[in-house]
């Protein structure tokens, strides 16, 4: 699957050749236009254009019109499909043949059977015969421009390259045009709601829920202290307001979460590196004062964890993912089957799964300090808005079952990522400036998926929810993912509102009704999740241990200057610019401690509403197949995969629930068996293992493996000769209601 890898793999020319004359086409051909969104404007179009299919053994290419708008690249087929294709999961903002401009990753041009990577500087060159678009959601589109007129082909090529690859300003993102042309409807969320943490009420509600003890600051309401910090946040009570101004908020412990035993989790941005001894001494004293404030606030010891020492850098993450994603950007069947022979080795060399394991391991270390040692934790990172967001979010997800609900998880992302100041604008490369691009938030979602697939009964949201959320990053309509900081969001909205004379409100990604109808939103919920009963909540509340502060204090009170010796030694190295290798192996003692903690937890009865820890063994860290393989027809299993099992369990649980309701209501007028049969109405379709993303097919699928590369490797005689079995899919596959 390295047909377009970083080393420049050899390109195999697609075997499809079209001899269709557009004037002699089918009678079913008709001119169509896409359904435009509010504020969407067409820049250019070309017709006829051929959309080449990934599998040229099935139905060949499709003729239509290619559009480029200020929001997307859209292909509209001229042909009325005679076959009814089942699409149970449809996005309202863009279709299966649409590519949001911010979702374009790379563009290749086909120049006389030679493929070249297109950059924005090559627009004035001769336009190619065809273009291949690689998307950030790992879709691959191939368009042939041979049949289009010379001028139209040139315009569509230049338009697509200019608007999807050229650097641009924030104001050019489609979200602003979209919001200017939609009516601002009042937000109508039902309880429980997603906390946005844009006001004091949400912060106070979260502090009350976790029973923490910190001081709320409003001094940065107008971003006078720092443009990187939120408008409102909690700090230890002993930290003074003047301490925030000393280094523009850097080094100040920002509260993240409080453990029920009394200790808490904090994070901060590291102080700038200096060489002069006097400034270095001042920084050391400043950080010691911050650590003392954390410890004094809770009467606990404090542990400073410098994430820059043991976790990969932002550049390492980007390089690893760039190699990793090439495994799934497939545009040629022959290349797919060749790469299949070295699949595991190529995955391993990217080190992407290794980075996921490192992040989970670090999160478990922090959980151990909080849960077992009753120690306050201060996460330290160069900027304080990347890997600290990953680790703090994972720690809270493992310790607090509230964040495993859908609204709780969304509140967590708002608190730690959006309001926490993660630079989505640059990390997601919405402005086409690759210098600071890095999939840090995607790395977090990968870690969450590992927890979800290991403990599926503990999460209210589904794998599909995580996949859709990862796709939404590149849509660039939602305020959640298009700003670099809370300051930029507030200032940009204020400026635009003043320009247009009315309040401009860019929607949040948590308003799922913008993308999916109520039926489709049901797929965002995990049908296997069971909420904690009121009796269990009452029992656990009564059994909750009271804080025993003296257990975490030293046996004998040491002199004050030695109380934080371990932390100050680490800080001294950090302030002097000393960095341990980011790919360092964990010490034997650290690994042994984590494994001991995990084994002790594993021996206890599993409580899905309590502490959750991931299995960090090699085979346990798996590939997120739904996200990475859903667009590759060759790996789809029709009638198989985990979705088949989940669907069957869901169907049985529905029938049990209906029977229970009938018994409670004592319905005697109707035959219960007839009612159950009518309610669980099934429609027979061929369901893929990547449902609901993969299209359902009516014919069998037969892979084409190049035998020249497989001679002697396997028996090709009976490969894929059997028909796929039909799978019955219940219309009511999930019983959850619409997301908030």
> Is 423 one of the annotated binding-site residues?
no
Tokens encoding 109: 């041009």
Measured in degrees and rounded to the nearest 5, phi and psi for residue 248 equal: 55, 40
Q: Are 255 and 237 in contact (CB under 8 A)?
A: no
Q: Give the separation between CA 706 and CA 717, rounded to whole angstroms.
A: 13
Q: Is 332 annotated as a binding residue?
A: yes
| The token pair that represents 459 in the structure block | 């999460």
**First-residue to last-residue Cα distance in the chain:** 39
Quote the CA–CA distance of 683 and 694 in Å, as a whole number. Answer: 17
| Residue position matching structure tokens 């077992």 | 372
Q: Are 95 and 87 in contact (CB under 8 A)?
A: no
**Helix or strand or coil: residue 143?**
strand
Q: Work out the number of other CB atoms within 10 angstroms of the CB of residue 21.
A: 9
Q: Which residue has tokens 């993450």? A: 317
Please count the CA atoms within 13 angstroms of the CA of 221 that sit on its side-chain side. 6
Distance CA 317, CA 299 (A): 37
Q: How many whole angstroms separate alpha carbon 371 and alpha carbon 611?
A: 9
Whose CA is closest to 478, among 520, 424, 423, 524?
424
Q: With contact defined as beta carbons under 8 Å apart, do 131 and 157 qualify?
A: yes
Please answer whether residues 379 and 362 qualify as being in contact, where contact means their C-beta atoms are separated by less than 8 angstroms: no
Closest by CA position to 93, among listed 630, 525, 474, 480? 474
Q: DSSP per residue over 670-690, as a string?
A: S-HHHHHHHHS-EEEE--BTT
How far apart are alpha carbons 116 and 323 in whole angstroms? Answer: 18
Angstrom distance (rounded) from CA 328 to CA 337: 12
Cis peptide before 692 (omega within 30 of 0): yes
Per the CB < 8 A criterion, the answer to whether 234 and 215 are in contact is yes
| Cα 64 from Cα 56, distance rounded (Å) | 17
∠ CA 13-16-20 to the nearest 5 degrees?
Answer: 135
Q: State how far the Cα of 542 lies from the Cα of 240, in Å rounded to an integer.
A: 36
Give the DSSP H or E segment for 520.
helix 518-521
- State CA 603 to chain mean position distance: 32
Indicate the annotated binding residues for substrate.
Answer: 332-333
Which residue ranges make up the annotated binding site? 332-333
């Amino acid at each position: 699957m390295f047909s377009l890898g970083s080393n420049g793999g050899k390109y195999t020319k697609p075997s499809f050749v079209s001899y269709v004359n557009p004037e002699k086409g089918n009678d079913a051909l008709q001119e169509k236009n896409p359904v435009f969104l509010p504020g969407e404007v067409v820049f250019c179009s070309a017709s006829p254009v051929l959309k080449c299919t990934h599998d040229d053994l099935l139905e060949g290419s499709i003729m239509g019109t290619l559009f480029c708008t200020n929001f997307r690249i859209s292909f509209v087929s001229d042909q009325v499909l005679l076959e009814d294709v089942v699409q149970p999961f449809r996005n309202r903002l863009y279709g299966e043949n649409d590519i949001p401009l911010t979702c374009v990753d790379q563009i290749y041009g086909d120049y006389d059977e030679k493929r070249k990577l297109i950059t924005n500087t090559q627009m004035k060159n001769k336009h190619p015969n065809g273009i291949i678009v690689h998307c950030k959601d790992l879709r691959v589109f191939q368009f042939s421009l041979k049949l289009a007129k010379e001028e139209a082909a040139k315009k569509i090529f230049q338009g697509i390259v200019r608007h999807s690859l050229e650097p641009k300003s924030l104001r050019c993102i489609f979200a602003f045009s979209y919001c200017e042309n939609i009516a601002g409807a009042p937000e109508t969320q039902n309880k429980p709601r997603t906390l946005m943490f844009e006001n004091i009420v949400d912060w106070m509600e979260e502090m009350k829920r976790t029973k923490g003890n910190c001081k709320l600051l409003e001094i940065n309401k107008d971003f006078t202290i720092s443009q990187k910090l939120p408008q409102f946040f909690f700090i230890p009570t002993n930290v003074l307001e003047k301490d925030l101004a000393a280094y523009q908020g850097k080094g100040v412990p920002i509260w993240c979460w409080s453990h029920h035993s009394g200790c808490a989790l904090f994070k901060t941005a590291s102080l700038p590196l200096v060489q002069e001894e006097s400034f270095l001494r001042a920084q050391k004293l400043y950080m010691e004062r911050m650590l003392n404030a954390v410890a004094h606030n809770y009467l606990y010891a404090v542990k400073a964890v410098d994430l820059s020492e043991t976790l990969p850098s932002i550049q390492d993450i980007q390089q690893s993912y760039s190699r990793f994603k090439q495994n799934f950007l497939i545009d040629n069947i022959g290349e797919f089957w060749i790469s299949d022979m070295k699949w595991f080795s190529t995955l391993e060399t990217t080190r992407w799964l290794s980075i996921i394991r490192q992040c989970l391991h670090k999160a478990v270390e922090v959980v151990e300090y909080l849960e077992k040692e009753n120690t306050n934790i201060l996460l330290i990172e160069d900027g304080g808005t990347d890997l600290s967001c990953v680790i703090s979010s994972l720690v809270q997800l493992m310790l607090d079952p509230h964040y495993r609900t859908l609204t709780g998880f969304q509140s967590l992302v708002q608190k730690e990522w959006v309001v926490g100041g993660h630079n989505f604008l640059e990390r997601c490369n919405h402005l086409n400036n690759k210098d600071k691009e890095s999939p840090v938030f995607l790395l977090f979602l990968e870690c969450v998926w590992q927890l979800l697939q290991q403990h599926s009964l503990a999460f209210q949201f589904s794998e599909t929810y995580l996949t859709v959320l990862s796709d939404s990053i590149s849509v660039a309509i939602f305020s959640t993912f298009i700003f670099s900081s809370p300051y930029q969001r507030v200032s940009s909205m204020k400026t635009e509102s003043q320009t247009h004379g009315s309040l401009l409100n860019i929607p949040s990604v948590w308003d799922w009704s913008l993308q999916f109808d109520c039926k489709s939103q049901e797929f965002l919920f995990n049908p296997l999740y069971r909420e904690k009963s009121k009796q269990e909540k009452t029992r656990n509340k009564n059994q909750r241990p009271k804080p025993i502060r003296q257990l975490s204090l030293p046996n004998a009170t040491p002199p004050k200057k030695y109380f934080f010796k371990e932390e100050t030694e680490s800080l001294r190295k950090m302030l002097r610019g000393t960095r341990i290798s980011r790919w360092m192996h964990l010490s034997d003692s650290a690994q042994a401690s984590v494994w001991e903690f995990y084994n002790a937890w594993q021996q206890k009865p599993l409580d899905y509403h309590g502490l959750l820890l991931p299995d960090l063994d090699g085979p346990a860290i798996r590939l997120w197949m739904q996200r990475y393989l859903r667009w590759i027809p060759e790996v789809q299993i029709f009638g198989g995969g985990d979705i088949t099992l989940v669907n069957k369990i869901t169907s049985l649980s529905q029938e049990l629930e209906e029977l229970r309701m009938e018994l409670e209501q004592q319905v005697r007028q109707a035959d219960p068996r007839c009612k159950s049969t009518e309610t669980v109405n099934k429609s027979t379709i061929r369901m893929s293992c990547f449902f609901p993303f993969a299209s359902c097919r009516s014919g069998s699928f037969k892979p084409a493996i190049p035998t020249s590369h497989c001679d002697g490797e396997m028996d090709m005689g009976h490969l894929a000769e059997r028909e796929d079995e039909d799978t019955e899919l219940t219309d009511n596959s999930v019983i959850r209601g619409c997301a908030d």
